[in-house]
């Protein structure tokens, strides 16, 4: 299997210069066609799974991916799809799984969020304007029972999940796990349609 042609692998070129070559552009175009195996309307790049395309220290092309969560069953298929794409481009490359920084739903692009909604999946809530992540902790049930009503309400409050079918905010969670572990199952109490909500991570 031939490696990526020069000048992309020329040692004298910096990493930035290598990434600006026509060969790299062609690879990005090919990789941008790859969709999430579980949600085929969004691409791996839009989901924030596809992190980087680079040349390794040994001159081999590396595609860097970050799993949405540990044990995601789609990662094996994603790995195989990327290698198949590289082979079709005549490139001998490898896939590198990067766990840090950990994937977050904040990496999902706005375009992907709209595609999820149109597909019938309520997208995760957008990141805070200040860029800080918000972690919701479930209160200890014994401690929660001792709380005043107002304090407990602040613990129990969760962002409203809008129905992707009719747009209603009158929804309720049926199960914390939906069609996949990264989604929760909701029902709209207005149109009565069940739907998945992509959980915030």
In the predicted structure, residue 50 carries a pLDDT above the cut 90: yes
Do 91 and 140 belong to one domain? no
Do 25 and 77 belong to one domain? yes
Closest CA to 162 of 144, 138, 187: 187
Mean pLDDT of 80-93: 95
Residue with tokens 């990005």: 28
Tell me whether residue 112 is in a domain: no
Question: Residue 141: which pLDDT band, with cuts at 50, 70 and 90?
Answer: very low
Do 61 and 27 belong to one domain? yes
What mean pLDDT is reported for the chain?
81
Tokens of 172: 């309720």
d(CA 187, CA 170) in angstroms, rounded, equals 9
Tell me whether residue 146 is in a domain: yes
Number of independent structural domains in the chain: 2
Tell me whether residue 103 is in a domain: no
Mean pLDDT of 128-143: 46
d(CA 18, CA 75) in angstroms, rounded, equals 27
* pLDDT 10s digits, 121-135: 999 987 654 444 444
pTM for this predicted structure: 0.74
Tell me whether residue 138 is in a domain: yes
* pLDDT 10s digits, 145-178: 444 444 444 444 678 999 999 999 999 999 998 8
Quote the pLDDT of residue 130.
47
Q: Can you name the residues that pair with 52 across neighbouring β-strands?
A: 64
> Which structural domain range is residue 180 located in?
119-198
User: 3-state SS string over 83-106?
Assistant: HHHHHHCCCCEEEEECCCCCCCHH
Question: Residue 17: which pLDDT band, with cuts at 50, 70 and 90?
Answer: low
Q: What is the DSSP letter of 107?
A: G
């Amino acid at each position: 299997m031939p490696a990526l042609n020069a000048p992309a692998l020329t040692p004298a070129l910096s990493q930035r210069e290598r990434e600006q070559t026509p060969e790299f552009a062609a690879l990005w175009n090919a990789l941008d066609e790859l969709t999430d195996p579980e949600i085929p309307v969004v691409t791996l790049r839009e989901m924030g799974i596809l992190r980087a395309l680079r040349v390794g220290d040994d001159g081999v092309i590396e595609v860097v991916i970050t799993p949405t969560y540990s044990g995601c069953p789609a990662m094996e298929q994603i790995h195989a799809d990327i290698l198949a794409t590289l082979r079709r481009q005549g490139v001998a490359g490898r896939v590198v799984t990067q766990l840090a920084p950990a994937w977050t739903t904040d990496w999902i692009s706005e375009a992907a969020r709209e595609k999820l909604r149109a597909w019938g999946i309520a997208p995760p809530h957008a990141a805070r304007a200040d860029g800080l992540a918000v972690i919701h902790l479930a209160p200890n049930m014994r401690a929660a029972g001792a709380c005043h009503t107002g304090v407990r309400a602040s613990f129990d409050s969760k962002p409203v999940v809008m129905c992707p079918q009719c747009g209603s905010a009158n929804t309720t969670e049926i199960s914390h796990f939906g069609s996949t572990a990264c989604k929760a199952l909701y029902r709209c109490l207005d149109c009565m349609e069940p739907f998945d909500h992509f959980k915030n991570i």
